[in-house]
Chain A
Amino acid sequence: MITSTDVSSFLARRRGRAGLDWTDVLAYTYLALGVLIVLLPVLWMFLSSIKSQRALVENDPRLLPYEQVMVPGATADQPPLGVFVWRKPDGSTVDVAFRAPRGRNMLVHTLADPATAIEVPRDQLTRKDKVAPRYQNYTEPTLGSTQTRTFNFLRYFWNSTFVTVVATLITLVVNAMAAFALSKYQFKGRDAIVLIIVATLLIPPTVILVPLFMTVSSLGMINSLWGVIIPAVATPTGVFLLRQYMLTIPDELLEAARMDSASEWKIFWRIMLPLSLPALSVLAILSVMWRWNDFMWPLIVLTQSEVFTLQLGLSTFKGELNDNMHYLLAMTVLTLLPVTLVFVFLQKHITTGIANTGLK
């Protein structure tokens, strides 16, 4: 178990015995820079995702979600009024509510005396802001009661999850089978087949887009999640990765299993798959990321919104006429979470997987 003292002593490691060596300063500066570069965009996106639509449209450069303080209008049916800080020529300040523009001036009233309207030069007023995270960006598209009725988060989430989980499972099984055959059986043309499979990496996916679409379409898989899943399961990267790993598993283990009357099928499931776990974890992570983040292929195959994946759903926020950046950002953050969690958990699994391979 890692305790907090371990972590802190790890983080506080340095070269200088007594104080900080100059290399320590350099190293920590470099590391801090790295953390910033990696973390800042994500952090920025998260902070932007809790800003109001208005703040986003205004291109407010501040990181935190600021919003203008509002007071209720004079009567219940009037809209709320924005609050400004009025810096008087004598230097004192007072909060005022904005009523209407009046040429170069603005018509305001002080909060203490709403009845008296005052005319104030525009340049003496600054907006009064407060930090106001807008969590509705998250709740509105997910829990209904949203302005955009086209975005059905739960359905898209389910579609994306289904595609990712099923495609990853099939990818693992299919690629592991191919890798098993190509690593542990001797037959003519084996190396040529491996070469051909790896060579398909050289073909850009856009080149085969049209023929692939025609195939999928003739199989009647347009607007079906299977049309997204099936074409993607066999990957040259996966076959190559698993094959290279399986080559390191000693043949004697397979022979021992054969002497133990195990069928080849059983050897695959009981010996090869468990022993390839570290490589399978890597492929699982890759596959989850590929399928979850895939945009182009689902965009082509899926045209009805009931079968949209999350990535397609997100794109509906960005129309020609409407621009729901605040929802788009919030939903993007939610979309990121599952992949991040998968990575965190499987990464741990990879290290233990390697440690368990206690073969002499």
Chain B
Amino acid sequence: MSTLELKQITKSFGATKVIRGIDLAVNHGEFTVFVGPSGCGKSTLLRMIAGLETATSGDVLIDDVRVNDITAAERGLAMVFQSYALYPHMSVRQNLSFGLENIKTPKPEIKRRVDEAARMLRMEALLDRRPGQLSGGQRQRVAIGRAVVREPKIFLFDEPLSNLDAELRVQMRVEIGSLHQRLGNTMIYVTHDQVEAMTMADRIAVLKDGRLEQFGRPLDLYNRPANLFVAGFIGSPRMNFLSAKLTEATGICAFATVDGGGTVKVPCVAAGAPGSAVKLGIRPEHIRPVEAGGGDIALKVTLTEQLGGESYLHGTVPSGEALSVRLPGQTRVTRGETIGVVLGESNLRHLFDAETGLVFEPADAEG
């Protein structure tokens, strides 16, 4: 069992508050991704879990034991660094066995584990080389191997793929995923790439400005974003937001008039008074184009992107706000044309309080 729990963790560097109180519980064997824009504190949070930084206040619990005062060396975790941080003066084999030597593992056991990790990561042929003689992808493997041989309670990954090219990144993503399935360890993975987060995570923690915005399964984050930030951050291309006015709110659904367009129905519990400003969120893949003059709102297309299998329309609505549409297959709509669009099925729409940015909870969440 390896669980991790963060209780009201904060971290300040001098007067700068980097982490502003985070509560989080990671279950055993879970692959958790910390995602957020750069500077959101996700790496700092990871380093606090690792023990490389001390928390200013709050507790870190591993297996229900408070580890705030236990050094990184004694926490029994393993970390893969963004720069790999391989020891340049040691061979790959020495890099892998260094950690095991430090905890006084018997020699035959070290050899067994190193060989096993090398086989698992397909780097048997590299064991006698120095890190300087390896390619980026190979170094990445060694860095992961160094974590694997330790058989740690929890794996920590700090943006491990950011130095790789796109093709290698996809490949390593798959490898780390399959490694998790094979080992079944608890893993915590930090990235700023929401695609990595969506594809790899069991649960995603979205961070912004040192706060936890939302923590949940990838599809829950996609389907039920808690606020404007998460809605905009998860999903590619990002969700469209249109300013609107609340016109009517019943207990189970709300009606909002989009600026420069028609009134749409959103099944949610809107708390605001009629006339208050709201944001309507709708994903590009849920918008359907119709003939000009039809639909919920007019869209003046300024750019079309034809990818063959799918197409994107980018344009502006009468209020001047940008709107993107993702269509399956190919489209005949050309630049400069004005079309009408249907703003999705009602249950695919999201309504946010324009002031707080919080979502109005869907009606079925109540029941």
* Cβ B72 vs Cβ A271 within 8 A: no
* Cβ A255 vs Cβ B131 within 8 A: no
Q: CB within 8 A of A358: which of B77, B131, B146?
A: B131
Binds B, one of A1-9, A114-122, A260-268, A280-288: A260-268
Q: CB within 8 A of A260: which of B83, B99, B163?
A: B99
Could you list some 18 contacts between A and B, CB below 8 A?
Answer: A255-B72, A255-B81, A255-B85, A256-B79, A256-B86, A257-B98, A259-B73, A259-B78, A259-B79, A260-B146, A261-B103, A262-B98, A262-B99, A262-B102, A266-B102, A275-B89, A358-B132, A359-B132
For residue A250, which residues in chain B have a CB less than 8 angstroms away from its CB? 83, 85
* Cβ A360 vs Cβ B72 within 8 A: no
A357 within 8 A of B: yes
* Cβ A263 vs Cβ B73 within 8 A: yes
CA distance A359 to B163 in the complex (A): 14
* Cβ B84 vs Cβ A260 within 8 A: no
B333 within 8 A of A: no
B88 within 8 A of A: yes
Interface positions of A (Cβ within 8 A of B): 250, 252-253, 255-263, 266, 270-271, 274-275, 277, 356-360
* Cβ A259 vs Cβ B72 within 8 A: yes
CA distance A271 to B130 in the complex (A): 15
Interface flags for B41-71 (1: CB within 8 Å of A; 0: not) read: 0000000001110000000000000000001
CA distance A169 to B84 in the complex (A): 33
* Cβ B73 vs Cβ A274 within 8 A: no
B133 within 8 A of A: yes
B150 within 8 A of A: yes
B74 within 8 A of A: yes
CA distance A259 to B52 in the complex (A): 8
* Cβ B87 vs Cβ A261 within 8 A: no
Q: Shortest 8 CB-CB distances between A and B: which pairs? A: A358-B132, A260-B99, A256-B85, A252-B85, A261-B102, A274-B89, A258-B72, A261-B73
Question: Contacts A261-B102, A263-B73, A266-B102: A358 and B88 contacting too (C-beta < 8 A)?
Answer: yes
Q: CB within 8 A of A360: which of B77, B133, B139?
A: B139
* Cβ A253 vs Cβ B102 within 8 A: no
For residue A274, which residues in chain B have a CB less than 8 angstroms away from its CB? 89
CA distance A275 to B82 in the complex (A): 20
CA distance A359 to B85 in the complex (A): 8
For residue B72, which residues in chain A have a CB less than 8 angstroms away from its CB? 255, 258-259
Q: Which chain B residue shows the least CB distance to A275?
A: B89
CA distance A356 to B82 in the complex (A): 21
Closest CB of chain B to A184's CB: distance in Å? Answer: 13
For residue A360, which residues in chain B have a CB less than 8 angstroms away from its CB? 83-84, 136, 139, 163
Q: CB within 8 A of B98: which of A270, A357, A359?
A: A270
Main DSSP-derived SS at the A contact region: helix
For residue B132, which residues in chain A have a CB less than 8 angstroms away from its CB? 356, 358-359
Closest CB of chain A to B128's CB: distance in Å? Answer: 15
* Cβ B88 vs Cβ A359 within 8 A: yes
* Cβ B52 vs Cβ A255 within 8 A: yes
For residue B139, which residues in chain A have a CB less than 8 angstroms away from its CB? 360
* Cβ A356 vs Cβ B98 within 8 A: no
CA distance A45 to B88 in the complex (A): 45
Closest CB of chain A to B139's CB: distance in Å? Answer: 7
Q: CB within 8 A of B73: which of A252, A262, A275, A277?
A: A262
Question: Contacts A356-B88, A360-B84: A258 and B71 contacting too (C-beta < 8 A)?
Answer: yes
For residue B103, which residues in chain A have a CB less than 8 angstroms away from its CB? 261
Closest CB of chain B to A234's CB: distance in Å? Answer: 26
* Cβ B73 vs Cβ A271 within 8 A: no
CA distance A266 to B81 in the complex (A): 20
CA distance A274 to B95 in the complex (A): 14
For residue B86, which residues in chain A have a CB less than 8 angstroms away from its CB? 256
* Cβ B81 vs Cβ A260 within 8 A: no
Closest CB of chain A to B230's CB: distance in Å? Answer: 30
Q: Which chain A residue shows the least CB distance to B149?
A: A260
CA distance A253 to B77 in the complex (A): 16
For residue A357, which residues in chain B have a CB less than 8 angstroms away from its CB? 88
For residue B78, which residues in chain A have a CB less than 8 angstroms away from its CB? 259
Closest CB of chain A to B4's CB: distance in Å? Answer: 16
CA distance A71 to B51 in the complex (A): 89
* Cβ A259 vs Cβ B102 within 8 A: no
CA distance A256 to B83 in the complex (A): 10
CA distance A270 to B102 in the complex (A): 11
For residue B52, which residues in chain A have a CB less than 8 angstroms away from its CB? 255, 258-259
Q: Which chain B residue shows the least CB distance to A273?
A: B89
In this complex, which of A252, A263, A277 has the most chain B Cβ atoms within 10 angstroms of its Cβ? A252
For residue A266, which residues in chain B have a CB less than 8 angstroms away from its CB? 102
Within 8 A of A (CB), among B130-156: 130-133, 136, 139, 146, 150
Closest CB of chain A to B179's CB: distance in Å? Answer: 18
Within 8 A of A (CB), among B105-134: 130-133
* Cβ B98 vs Cβ A252 within 8 A: no
CA distance A11 to B82 in the complex (A): 46
* Cβ A356 vs Cβ B89 within 8 A: yes
For residue A359, which residues in chain B have a CB less than 8 angstroms away from its CB? 88, 131-132
CA distance A266 to B104 in the complex (A): 13
Closest CB of chain B to A352's CB: distance in Å? Answer: 12
* Cβ B102 vs Cβ A358 within 8 A: no
Q: CB within 8 A of A259: which of B50, B82, B84?
A: B50
Closest CB of chain A to B52's CB: distance in Å? Answer: 5
10 further interface pairs, Cβ-Cβ under 8 Å (given A252-B85, A275-B89): A253-B87, A255-B85, A257-B87, A260-B102, A270-B98, A275-B88, A357-B88, A358-B88, A358-B133, A360-B84
CA distance A274 to B89 in the complex (A): 7
In this complex, which of B71, B85, B130 has the most chain A Cβ atoms within 10 angstroms of its Cβ? B85
For residue A262, which residues in chain B have a CB less than 8 angstroms away from its CB? 73, 98-99, 102
CA distance A13 to B84 in the complex (A): 43
For residue B150, which residues in chain A have a CB less than 8 angstroms away from its CB? 260
